[in-house]
Amino acid sequence: MNNRLINWFKFASPQTFYPLAGKMIPWFWALTAVFGIAGLYIGFFVAPTDAQQGEGYRIIFIHVPASWMSMFIYLVMAFWAALGLGFNTRLSGMMASALAPTGALMAFLSLWTGALWGKPMWGTWWVWDARLTSELILFFLYLGFIALQSAIDDARRADKAGAVLALVGVVNIPIIYFSVKWWNTLHQGASVSLTRSPSMAQTMLWGMLLMALAFWMYSIAVSLTRVRAIILERERHAGWVEELTEIKQP
Amino acid sequence: MAEASLSSALAAVIRRDLLLALRRKSDVLTTLFFFVIVVSLFPLGIGPEMAMLRQIAPGVLWVAALLATMLSLPRLFAADHADGTLEQMALSAVPLGVLVTGKILAHWLLSGLPLALLAPVLGLQFDLPADALGVMVLALLIGTPVLSLIGAVGAGLTLGVRGGGVLVSLLVLPLYVPVLIFGAGAVESHIGGLGATAHLSLLAAFLALAAFFGPWATTVALRIALE
């Protein structure tokens, strides 16, 4: 058999993925720290004060990356869910359930920082604007996913039921993403676009992108840590778990 | 046994569910009364000014329709699951998707259609003009099948799960939001003089999407529940 093919599927089993994840986690934490410190430094000390919004705009260094991550994590979760449903792989379901709490956290953070920003800028904590509402729905979808999984005792059934829900809910992602284009409500347009040159100062953009990378690395590190815990919990009867140095009783 | 065609199987499932509902009318009537009572509570809570009531009527009617549909969702598969009928359906020669479509259609005939027919009477309480009532009924006729189709997925996922009744609201209500927005929006924009066509077209698009994916996702959910 082709050697490369084996390597592709090698880490699809919890037994081989567990040590790999353990080796990767410190690296992702280190990258989180590097990107986070650089991003925060640029965000708070280098980036100029905004002409219209004063210092308050600096919350976008948290708000925008959190919003991006909340949508992206859902897509990744749905991707793993589809993979798990299609190929009946165990690890995909575990990945999906490991991602959900981080996604919920990001959606909550996005809503919360948005409210903190909205009070001085718009004069209100909350408006029933299309983007805010669809982000709130995304938060509810995460909560629904977590609630459904925790209501089902059988882990395999929980994975599959959650996968169906994740795939049904994925229609919401394009709605959030395009909401500022489709409905001209209070929320300002997209801050960053791939097709036109950025409308904000270079340093602001750099700060935001570095923070986005930091959030990205954080999400990966936390999800891997969580998936390790899920693997240990579900595979506790397997022989290889008892062989692990951190499990073995002295 | 003669080989049953798909359409006759579909008709048989619809007929069976309607007959079952006819034999036990209270289930269907409870949902309708719930709808009427919830809608009638709003004027009491908000105050009897006609201008205000006219403004909130579309939203109130739609939210009540959503809640009433939710109330009827658990009985979509629960009884059949309890007595083993659902397993027989999954094992039968007819594809489960067809039978599920029949059950969803029957659910709509028992909950969505009566809601749409009742809505004009309730709309009168809110002083809605006659043409707005017409748009309301039309929007409900297009929108309530979407509610049944999406709800069936939630009902399938929570089948036999502890706390399923509460869970289904958490799963299904967020997905109902687009229908709510465009359903109520159709009536509002008609009253505002903008015309309801755009909203109704979007609702119809949701219906087309839900009609395609809904039964399929429900079938997957049911197979998971039956494992």
Q: Is B59's Cβ below 8 Å from some Cβ in A?
A: no
- Across the interface, do A161 and B225 touch by the CB < 8 Å criterion? yes
* CA–CA dist A204, A63 (Å, integer): 13
Q: Please tell me which of the candidates B157, B209, B227 has its beta carbon nearest to residue A165.
A: B157
A95 contacts A89 by C-beta, under 8 angstroms: no
* Alpha-carbon distance A156 to nearest alpha carbon in chain B (angstroms): 9
Name which of A33-42, A118-127, A225-234 the model is least confident about: A118-127
Q: Which two tokens stand for residue A85?
A: 């449903």
CA terminus-to-terminus distance, chain B: 28
pLDDT over 70 percentage in chain B: 98
- Across the interface, do A148 and B161 touch by the CB < 8 Å criterion? yes
Name the CA dihedral angle for A228, A212, A166, A140, rounded to a multiple of 10 degrees: 110
pLDDT band at A196 (very low <50, low <70, confident <90, very high): low
List of chain A residues whose C-beta atoms are within 8 Å of the C-beta of residue B177: 133, 137
B113 contacts B179 by C-beta, under 8 angstroms: no
* Alpha-carbon distance A28 to nearest alpha carbon in chain B (angstroms): 33
pLDDT at A45 over 70: yes
A185 contacts A9 by C-beta, under 8 angstroms: no
pLDDT at A188 over 50: yes
Which chain B residue has the Cα nearest residue A128?
A: B181
Determine the angle formed by the axes of helices B96-107 and B197-226, rounding to 10 degrees: 130
Work out the angle at residue B62's Cα, subtended by the Cα atoms of residues B167 and A130, and round it to the nearest 5 degrees: 80
* Alpha-carbon distance B26 to nearest alpha carbon in chain A (angstroms): 30
Q: Please tell me which of the candidates B150, B170, B224 has its beta carbon nearest to residue A143.
A: B170
CA terminus-to-terminus distance, chain A: 41
Which chain B residue has the Cα nearest residue A159?
A: B224
Question: What is the per-residue burial (b if ≥16 Cβ within 10 Å, else e) of A201-236?
Answer: eeebbbbbbbbbbbbbbbbbbbbbebbbebbbebbe
Rounded to an integer, the average pLDDT of A171-196 is 66
Q: For tokens 């749905």, what's the residue?
A: A78
Which residues, 6+ apart, have CB-to-CB distance to A116 below 8 Å?
A: A59
Q: What pLDDT, on the 0 to 100 scale, is given for residue A132?
A: 81
Name the CA dihedral angle for A25, A31, A32, A36, rounded to a multiple of 10 degrees: 170
Q: What pLDDT, on the 0 to 100 scale, is given for residue B53?
A: 83
pLDDT 10s digits, B79-92: 888 888 888 888 88
Q: Is B56's Cβ below 8 Å from some Cβ in A?
A: no
pLDDT band at A8 (very low <50, low <70, confident <90, very high): low
Q: Is B168's Cβ below 8 Å from some Cβ in A?
A: no
pLDDT 10s digits, B204-222: 988 998 899 889 888 988 8
pLDDT 10s digits, B114-153: 888 888 888 888 888 888 888 888 899 999 999 999 999 9
List of chain A residues whose C-beta atoms are within 8 Å of the C-beta of residue B180: none
Q: What pLDDT, on the 0 to 100 scale, is given for residue B2?
A: 47
Work out the angle at residue B164's Cα, subtended by the Cα atoms of residues B163 and B167, and round it to the nearest 5 degrees: 90
In 3-state terms chain A splits into helix, strand, coil percentages (rounded to 5) of 75, 0, 20
CB pairs A-B closer than 8 Å: 60
Q: Please tell me which of the candidates B162, B170, B220 has its beta carbon nearest to residue A164.
A: B220
pLDDT over 70 percentage in chain A: 83
* Alpha-carbon distance A144 to nearest alpha carbon in chain B (angstroms): 5
- A171: how many CB neighbours lie within 10 A of its CB? 14
Q: Please tell me which of the candidates B150, B173, B221 has its beta carbon nearest to residue A161.
A: B221
pLDDT 10s digits, A93-144: 888 989 999 999 999 999 998 888 888 777 777 777 777 888 888 898 999 8
Q: What pLDDT, on the 0 to 100 scale, is given for residue B1?
A: 44
List of chain A residues whose C-beta atoms are within 8 Å of the C-beta of residue B174: 137, 140-141, 144, 169, 172
- Across the interface, do A151 and B162 touch by the CB < 8 Å criterion? yes
* Alpha-carbon distance A141 to nearest alpha carbon in chain B (angstroms): 7
Q: Which of these, B182, B173, B71, B73, lies nearest to B136 by C-alpha position?
A: B182
pLDDT 10s digits, B151-202: 999 888 888 787 777 888 888 888 888 888 888 888 888 887 787 788 888 8
* Alpha-carbon distance B32 to nearest alpha carbon in chain A (angstroms): 27
Output DSSP code: residue A244.
Answer: S
A97 contacts A230 by C-beta, under 8 angstroms: yes
Q: Is B74's Cβ below 8 Å from some Cβ in A?
A: no
Residue type at B224 in one-letter notation: I
Q: Please tell me which of the candidates A143, A151, A164 has its beta carbon nearest to residue B221.
A: A164
Which residues, 6+ apart, have CB-to-CB distance to B51 below 8 Å?
A: none
pLDDT at A5 over 60: no
ipTM above 0.90 for this complex: no
